[in-house]
């Protein structure tokens, strides 16, 4: 798959809940391979961004599968962990605001409040139950991707926070967007 296979708002699928995966078969393996290839193709076309993670719904497949990059700091590491039927089983720590972007929300970033520590339960690609305690950025990534499986995007969390929308400049810096001009009437809040 390619970056063009990643759906973006206002595609209605992004607002739908994904279905639980009952069996991990060749079709699920193919889904994961497609998710990884689409994410890497997207990342290859971005000089200042990394394809950190993806939910299956973002390639228009409503199954509860997410992938998360193994190394957020190294763009040459193109490996991902797979989490099937992921769910947050415990929110912990403080709620902190930090920046998030999304491959399905074109050219908009947001300052989003999230718990800085979570416990997640999922299945790995072999079908084994795994539990992960994630902190900091990884905790944020899990919450963002699990939200996708529930039909929720980061813009839904901050829709009433007019000063929390940003865009990436050509030199890789974030600058605040005018809520009135760029967001309020935009398709991203519908």
Q: How confident is the model at residue 190 (pLDDT cuts 50, 70, 90)?
A: low
pLDDT at 48: 79
- Residue 71: what pLDDT? 94
Write out the catalytic residue numbers. Answer: 145
pLDDT tens readout for residues 118-157: 999 999 999 999 999 999 999 999 999 999 999 999 999 9
Residue 186 above 70 pLDDT? yes
Q: Is the pLDDT of residue 112 over 70?
A: yes
Q: Does domain 3-189 have CATH number 3.90.45.10?
A: yes
Average pLDDT of the chain, as a whole number: 95
State the DSSP string of 63-131.
BSEEEEES-TT-TT---EEEEEEEEEEEEEEEEEEEEEEETTEEEEEEEEEEEEEEEEEEE-TTS-EEE
> Where along the chain do its domains lie?
3-189
Burial of 80 (0-12, 13-18, 19+ CB in 10 A): buried
Contact in structure between 132 and 148 (CB atoms under 8 Å): no
Q: Tell me: pLDDT of 31 over 70.
A: yes
Answer whether residue 12 shows pLDDT above 80: yes
Burial (CB < 10 A; 0-12, 13-18, 19+), residue 125, is middle
Q: Whole-model pTM?
A: 0.95
* Cα Rg of the chain, angstroms: 16
């Amino acid at each position: 798959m390619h970056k063009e296979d990643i759906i973006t708002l206002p595609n209605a699928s992004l607002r739908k809940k994904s279905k639980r995966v009952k069996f991990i078969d060749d079709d699920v393996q193919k889904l994961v391979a497609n998710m990884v290839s689409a994410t890497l193709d997207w990342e290859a076309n971005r000089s200042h961004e990394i394809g950190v993670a993806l939910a299956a719904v973002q390639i228009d497949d409503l199954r509860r599968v997410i992938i998360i990059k193994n190394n957020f700091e190294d763009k040459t590491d193109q490996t991902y962990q797979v989490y099937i039927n992921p769910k947050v089983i415990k929110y912990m720590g403080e709620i902190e605001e930090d920046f998030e972007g999304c491959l399905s929300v074109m050219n908009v970033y947001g300052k989003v409040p999230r718990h800085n520590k979570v416990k997640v339960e999922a299945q790995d690609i072999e079908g084994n139950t795994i539990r992960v305690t994630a902190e900091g950025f990884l905790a944020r990534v899990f919450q963002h991707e699990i939200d996708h499986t529930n039909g929720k995007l980061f813009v839904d969390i901050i829709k009433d926070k007019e000063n929390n929308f940003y865009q990436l400049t050509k030199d890789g810096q974030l600058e605040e967007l005018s809520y009135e001009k760029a967001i309020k009437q935009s398709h991203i809040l519908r």
